[in-house]
Every structure is written in C-alpha cells, then in structure tokens.
Amino acid sequence: MRLTILSLVISFGFLAMTVRAIRRRVLGEQVAMIWLGVSACMVLLSATLPTHLLDRAARLVGVAYPPELVLLLAALFLVVLVFHLSIAQAKLQSKVTRLTQELGLLKAGSPDGPTEDLERIH
Amino acid sequence: MASGPPEADPVEADATAVPFGGTRLCIIVPAFNEGPSVAKVVVAIQSALPSAQVVVVDDGSKDDTSIQAADAGAHVITLPMNLGIGGAVQTGYLYAQRNDFDIAMQIDGDGQHDPREARFVIEPILEQRADMVVGSRWLGRGEYKAPSGRRLGMRILSRLIKWRTGQTITDTTSGFRAVGRPGIALFAQSYSSDFPEVEALVAAKQCGLVIEEVPVQMQQRLHGRSSIAGLQSSYYMMRVVVALVVDSLQWKEHP
C-alpha cells in the first residue's frame, strides 16, 4: 500500500508538472498531448498496483517478469520519442539555415552598393 | 536621397558584369576566417575576370574577413551565424539565382584556386557542352601534391561517385567548379550542408545535368589548413561514404 501511495504521489506530481507547462505555454500542442498521455499512464499504473493489473497484463503477452514489461514499453516509448525529436530538430536546422542565408542576403543589399552597405552595418 | 541625381537601377548597374559576350558571371567565394588572404583572392579574381561579379560569403567569421573583402571591392554577404561550407556556398547560389546570373562559379577564399585558371572551368558551359564543370588537380596540369593517405581517400571517393553517377570524376572534393542556370537553380533550392562538393555531383547528375571535368592547376593554400586535414580526413571519408549511402536510399522526386 505504501508503494502505491508513493507512486501515485510521483505520478500526480508529474501530471501537475505537465499541466503547469501547458498552461504556461512552454509545451507545443502535439508534445503536450504526448506528455499528458504519459502522465495518465503513470497514474493508471500506480492506481492499479493493488489489483495486480500489471501482472495480469504481463502474463497475457507472455512476459514472465512483470516489471520487464514496464521497462520494455518505457524503452520503446523513449526510442520513438527521440526519433521524433531528431526529425523535428533536423527540420528546425534547415529552417535556421535558410533564415540565416536570407538575413545575410538582406543585409548585403543590392549588388551595386556593397561597400556602402557594409559601412552602415559596422 | 530623393533630391540627388537618379541613381542607377540595380539591375542596370549589374549589367556591367558582362564577360564573354553578354554572359553574366558570378564568382562565389565562401570564406570563414580568411581575413589574411581574402583580399588577395578577390583582387586576383577581379584582374583575371574583370567583368565578373565577385560575391564573398563570409560564413560568420570572427576576424575581419568581411571588411577585407569589401575593401578589395567584392560584394560581401555576411552571414550572422556560421553555417558551414554548404550553407555558405548555397547563399551564393541563392544570390546568383535572384540576381539572374547565367553562370555561377565557386572559388575558395583561401587562395588555393588560381583565378587565371577559371576560364578553363567556365568554357565548357559557355560553349554549352556542359551544365556543370569541375576543375581537377589530377588530370595532368600542375604539380599539386597530396599525401598518399589523402590520395587513397580521393580514389575511394572517385569510385563511389562512379558507382552513384556512372561517371568518372577524379577530383570529387574540388571546390573549383562552375554551373550554368539549371545548376544555379538546383543548388539554390537544395544543397547539402555537410559534404557539399561530393554530394552536389550526385544531385546534379540525378537532375540530368551534364558534368565535365577539366584539368586545372591548384596552388598550395596561402594560409590555414584544409577543412579536411590530418586525422580528420579519415573521419571525413567515413562520413562522406555514409552520406552517399544515405543519399542513395533517399526518395528523389524526379521532375
């Protein structure tokens, strides 16, 4: 019972963190949904500890040691998440590159007055 | 400003850049911390190709590259952040495309490429024999020396390019190259950031551009080291190989 309370506290703490981040608009909508889902899963797992839901689920998919199921799912989730973030990062990278190029071109101005433009910048 | 004499229209002033009978030539000089040599390079280009427009792309240098280049009379595009060679060169292609140039040529800002050799690289495009021309150190002219390890690396790259394009290119990493309008449009739209020289060859070939290689003389650089030097070169090789393999896996939208 003590373990259930402890994990419930941690889960709700995480849920509160997520909600706070969403309300302060520091999480994107898509990512906010993912983390709300994670929070919900954590709460569900904690709340069902006394009913041995996890053990039954593990037996159902043929995992002999129930905690392994949690670890497996967690690892899978993290791999997918990092993959998703890699893609997002690469997209941002190419956007920043293009912005940098456009800014450089804009600052340099038209080809007939290069030195004048440069003097103005420095 | 308004009360002064009417200033020349940018496009009109630009039209002074008319070499080779009406063909407008843009020289892209990517430079990163090349303060000590960039002015010499710009002056050398201007004396070898008086009617070309020299565009120095300062890739977020920490030194006075921009000022040196501008004082030497180049049009300077100063990038607010360092993008790496690919991003810098692509900026030049964007410039060439938007200012309606016929030919864009890359010449490194470190003094390795001799602008007097540039006409050999431009010629095949002027004569409409090729869309893209690469100046090669290895085709007999000049006495450029490279360590044996690097020679081996270059041979491997050459093989890879042969595999990807079906064409033999001896100097795949040469940054002494020129393209016509289709190449300008292609590179302005997409240009690899990491290993642009090698991958650009593959991209050009996939878009159906005709690539030609011409022999040129190259000098040992005026200062500094190659961006591909020493132990890093094997690392570079590995990454180029990976990049090429990854590239071969990518879906291409053929026009």
3-state SS, one letter per residue, for chain B: CCCCCCCCCHHHHHCCCCCCCCCCEEEEEEECCCHHHHHHHHHHHHHHCCCCEEEEEECCCCCCHHHHHHHCCCEEEECCCCCCHHHHHHHHHHHHHHCCCCEEEECCCCCCECHHHHHHHHHHHHCCCCCEEEEECCCCCCCCCCCHHHHHHHHHHHHHHHHHHCCCCCCCCCCCEEECHHHHHHHHHCCCCCCHHHHHHHHHHHCCCCEEEEECCECCCCCCCCCCCCCHHHHHHHHHHHHHHHHHHCCCCCC
- Quick one: pLDDT at residue A13? 94
Angle, CA of A60, A64 and A68, to the nearest 5°: 95
8 A C-beta contact, residue B32 and residue B82: yes
Query: B10-249 is classed in which CATH architecture?
Result: Alpha-Beta Complex (3.90)
DSSP letter assigned to residue A49: G
| B219-244 mean pLDDT | 69
User: pLDDT tens digit string along A59-69?
Assistant: 888 888 888 88
Q: pLDDT band at residue B29, thresholds of 50, 70 and 90?
A: very high
| DSSP string computed for A50-91 | GGTHHHHHHHHHT-SSHHHHHHHHHHHHHHHHHHHHHHHHHH
- Reply yes or no on whether the pLDDT at B46 is more than 60: yes
Q: Among A83-97, B76-90, B138-152, whose mean pLDDT is lowest?
A: B138-152
- Quick one: pLDDT at residue B252? 60
Residue B75 Rama label (left phi>0; alpha psi -120 to 50; beta): beta
Q: pLDDT band at residue A25, thresholds of 50, 70 and 90?
A: confident
Quick one: tokens of B10?
């940018």
Half-sphere exposure of B158 (CA within 13 A, CB side): 15
User: pLDDT tens digit string along B108-160?
Assistant: 888 888 899 999 999 999 999 999 999 998 887 666 666 677 778 888 889 88
Mean pLDDT of chain B: 83
Angle, CA of B25, A116 and B104, to the nearest 5°: 15
Inter-chain contacts counted by CB atoms under 8 A, chains A and B: 63
Q: pLDDT band at residue A114, thresholds of 50, 70 and 90?
A: very low
**Residue B175: closest CA among B156, B193, B194, B198:** B198
Q: What is the pTM assigned to this prediction?
A: 0.78
Q: pLDDT band at residue B199, thresholds of 50, 70 and 90?
A: confident
- Reply yes or no on whether the pLDDT at B86 is more than 60: yes
Across the interface, do A114 and B80 touch by the CB < 8 Å criterion? Answer: no
**Which residues in chain B (83-142) have CB-CB distances under 8 A to chain A?**
83, 87, 90-91, 94-95, 98-99
Across the interface, do B77 and A110 touch by the CB < 8 Å criterion? Answer: no
Tally the residues of chain B. 255
Quick one: tokens of B47?
């004396």
Nearest-CB residue to A111 (from B10, B57, B67): B10
- Quick one: pLDDT at residue B231? 66
- Quick one: pLDDT at residue B40? 92
Residue A26 Rama label (left phi>0; alpha psi -120 to 50; beta): alpha
- Quick one: pLDDT at residue B73? 92
Q: Among A39-53, B32-46, B138-152, B172-186, whose mean pLDDT is lowest?
A: B138-152
- Strand order in B53-58's β-sheet? B75-78, B53-58, B25-31, B103-106, B177-179, B132-136, B211-215
Enumerate the residues of chain B whose CB falls inside 8 A of the CB of residue A122: 66-67
Quick one: tokens of B95?
């410039």
Across the interface, do A112 and B74 touch by the CB < 8 Å criterion? Answer: no
Q: Among A7-16, A71-80, B152-161, B176-185, whose mean pLDDT is lowest?
A: B152-161
- Reply yes or no on whether the pLDDT at B6 is more than 70: no
DSSP letter assigned to residue A27: S
- Reply yes or no on whether the pLDDT at A117 is more than 50: no
Among chain B residues, the shortest Cα distance to A113 is held by: B75
User: Highest-confidence range of B13-17, B113-117, B225-229, by mean pLDDT?
Assistant: B113-117
Q: Among A5-9, A96-100, B47-51, B244-248, whose mean pLDDT is lowest?
A: B244-248
Interface contact B54, partner A, CB < 8 A:
no
Q: Provide the residue type at A41 as one letter.
A: C
- Quick one: pLDDT at residue B227? 55
| A62-81 mean pLDDT | 91
- Reply yes or no on whether the pLDDT at B255 is more than 60: no
Q: pLDDT band at residue B1, thresholds of 50, 70 and 90?
A: very low
Mean pLDDT of chain A: 86
Q: How far is CA A95 from CA A92, A102, B87, in A?
A: 5, 11, 12
- Reply yes or no on whether the pLDDT at B222 is more than 90: no
- Quick one: pLDDT at residue B242? 84
Q: pLDDT band at residue B12, thresholds of 50, 70 and 90?
A: very low
Q: Among B75-84, B98-107, B197-206, B233-242, whose mean pLDDT is lowest?
A: B233-242
